[in-house]
Structure formats: structure tokens, C-alpha cells
Amino acid sequence: MIQALLPSILPAVTDIVGRFLPENAEERAKAERAIKASLTEHLAKVDLAQIEVNKEEAKGNWFQSSWRPLTGWTCAASLAWTYLFQPMASFVLAQTGHLVELPTLDMSQMMPILLGMLGLGSLRSWERTKGVGK
């Protein structure tokens, strides 16, 4: 990152600071080298600070790492209730003489989430088989 920023920043800095640099060419070159070294050191510190921030963010926390599995398990539980447990429970209750209306879930809301997650998961698996993913 430093190598990309330095050529664009250095001319502006030396142009502004150049008004205050000595007229002697040797002393001026020495001052410009000092400015370049100072700017390089500062940009390196900025990069190191960003690396530390990245390390902290990479650690994550329970909430960051759990939202996707939680969403997947919620979708799976909704699917299981709607197509397995609720019909079987309704049948068993009706056979035993308890005509109870069990709650139904609106799967039109849930299916786009579930299918989207399954699609993204399969795309990720395909990337890994092609060697694109880490």
C-alpha cells in the first residue's frame, strides 16, 4: 500500500514544503530525502495500525460467527415443522379425537432465505472444488 500512495503524495508534499527548503541543491535533495523517509515511515505506521484492526476483526465474536448457522437452523426447523411435524401431529391429534388447529408457517417468506443460503453454499462448494476458495 505504501508503494501505491507514495508516488501520488510525495510531489504534493515536496511542492508545498519546497517553498521552505534551502536553495542549495545538495541541501534541498537532503531535505527531500528526509521528507520522503518521514512520509514512508508514517505510511508504514498507518499500514501496521490497519493490520492490527484487521486482526481484531478477524477474531470475530459469537454473534458474527453464529448468525448464518442460526438462520440455516431456523429455516430447517421451519421446513421440518411445516412438512413433517405439523401434518403428523395434526393426524395423531385427529385420530385421538382432539381436533386442534396447529399453527402453520408461511413458507413463502422462508423459502427465499433458505434457497438463497443453499445456493450460496453450493456456489462456495463449487469454488472450493475448482481451487478458487481458500
Q: Above 70 in pLDDT, residue 79?
A: yes
Q: Above 80 in pLDDT, residue 133?
A: no
Q: What percent of the chain has pLDDT over 90?
A: 13
Whether pTM > 0.85 for this model: the answer is no
**Confidence (pLDDT) at 71:** 83
Going by pLDDT thresholds of 50, 70 and 90, the confidence category of residue 57 is confident
* Average pLDDT score over the chain: 80
Q: Helix H segments across 23-106? A: 25-59, 62-80, 86-95
**Confidence (pLDDT) at 23:** 74
Q: What digits encode the pLDDT tens for the residues 115-130?
A: 887 776 666 677 777 7
Q: What digits encode the pLDDT tens for the residues 4-35?
A: 666 777 677 777 776 667 777 787 788 778 87
Query: Alpha carbon of 24 to those of 53, 62, 103, 113: distances in Å?
Result: 43, 61, 88, 70
